[in-house]
Chain A
């Protein structure tokens, strides 16, 4: 059996997919016949871009978790809350369901996203033997859940606008909010710039079907 990579197959067929509008083009074209975007059989630079964005996001995740994300003044007492201490506080005040939602949106999702994307990029860069099918499903899940981290920022913005009564009761955002916003932005970008066709080029003699 002759094993041919996905890229070779595409070149043999003389076809190339447009990444903007998903139109199939013949590969002698430089620009898509439908939307006139530049065509590339594979965008190898996208792997580097994606790594760069992901590493930046991973670094920013540290200040996002260590620094306080909100500052609450309640009758003269100032309390700084990090993401985690906010959740612990929710658990102690008997709001377990809300605590679970916030935990998933602001701790679980960013970590799963960064670790998942790193696995995905490693699999492409270092040819790790992980099933391509599983990787692709994981990638779509990551792309979808990524949006839910925005929940924390929305809650902060509503709380800050609502609670402004000076010394009595006052909520303000704190430095981690910016870092957290950047983590979301960068991870979403890292998933978006990546040319997912790169995954399918790897040769797998044992199970070529996935």
Chain B
């Protein structure tokens, strides 16, 4: 699980900050990243939509991976210290919310949908970010499959 976590973290930054889609229209080329996507709607004044996209595609997965990483580290080395036990308890309580907030699988489908929609009037190419994002999604999928919330609670219980 530690390995999956580190892999996910490595993919996280290129996935969000490398261009995912590239459009060629009448000779001009535009690219976009996941992060820019959220901010573009934000700039147009639709901050609710911007926030929703940002939370579900950027902040959610990031916090989820960091939270699981912190939990693993605490379980490995910090369980004997009261402060770390308290932090682990808080993290476990937030776990359900974080995993609901993470919507990577939907974003991967939305690459496909938007590329088909735009291919109507221009040429669309996938960028390096698409690969990283899909990998991030796959790694996170396996990470969530390995992760067992009830097991984490038992580990915490064992150290009371």
Binding site for B on A (CB under 8 A): 20-23, 34-37, 74, 90, 93, 95, 98, 101-102, 147-148, 150-151, 153-165, 168-169, 172-173, 177-178, 180-182, 184-185, 188, 192
Asked whether B36 is an interface residue with its Cβ less than 8 Å from the other chain, the reply is: yes
Q: Are A153 and B32 in contact (CB under 8 A)?
A: no
Among all A-B residue pairs, the 8 with the closest Cβ atoms: A154-B110, A161-B40, A161-B32, A157-B37, A161-B37, A158-B114, A162-B32, A155-B114
What 17 new A-B contacts, CB under 8 Å, besides A34-B156, A98-B117, A165-B30?
A35-B89, A93-B120, A150-B103, A151-B109, A157-B50, A158-B21, A158-B32, A158-B110, A158-B111, A158-B114, A159-B118, A161-B37, A161-B40, A162-B32, A169-B122, A177-B46, A180-B49
Instruction: Establish whether residues B25 and A169, one from each chain, have CB atoms under 8 Å apart when the complex forms.
Output: yes
A27 to B41, CA, bound (A): 49
Least CB distance from A64 to B in Å reads 12
Measured between beta carbons, the chain A residues less than 8 angstroms from B106 are 147-148, 150-151, 154
A-binding residues in B (CB < 8 A):
20-21, 23, 25-26, 28, 30-33, 36-41, 44, 46, 48-50, 52-53, 56-57, 89, 92-93, 100, 103, 106-107, 109-114, 116-118, 120-122, 150, 153, 156-157
Q: Are A162 and B50 in contact (CB under 8 A)?
A: no
Q: Does B25 contact A168, Cβ atoms closer than 8 Å? A: yes
Interchain CA distance A165-B127 in the complex, whole Å: 20
Report the separation of the CA atoms of residues A101 and B20 in the bound assembly, to the nearest whole angstrom: 21
Chain B CB within 10 A, most for which of A101, A102, A155, A192? A155
A158, B37: Cβ atoms closer than 8 Å: yes
The chain B residue with its CB closest to the CB of A180 is B49
B93 A20 Cβ-Cβ under 8 A: yes
Q: By the criterion CB–CB under 8 Å, are A160 and B44 in contact?
A: yes
Residues in B with CB closer than 8 Å to A36 are 89
Pick from B25, B48, B89 the residue with the most CB of A within 10 Å: B48
> Are A168 and B26 closer than 8 Å at their CB atoms?
yes
- What are 15 A-to-B residue pairs whose CB atoms are below 8 Å? A21-B92, A21-B153, A101-B109, A150-B56, A150-B106, A153-B52, A158-B37, A160-B37, A161-B39, A162-B32, A177-B41, A177-B48, A177-B49, A181-B48, A188-B100
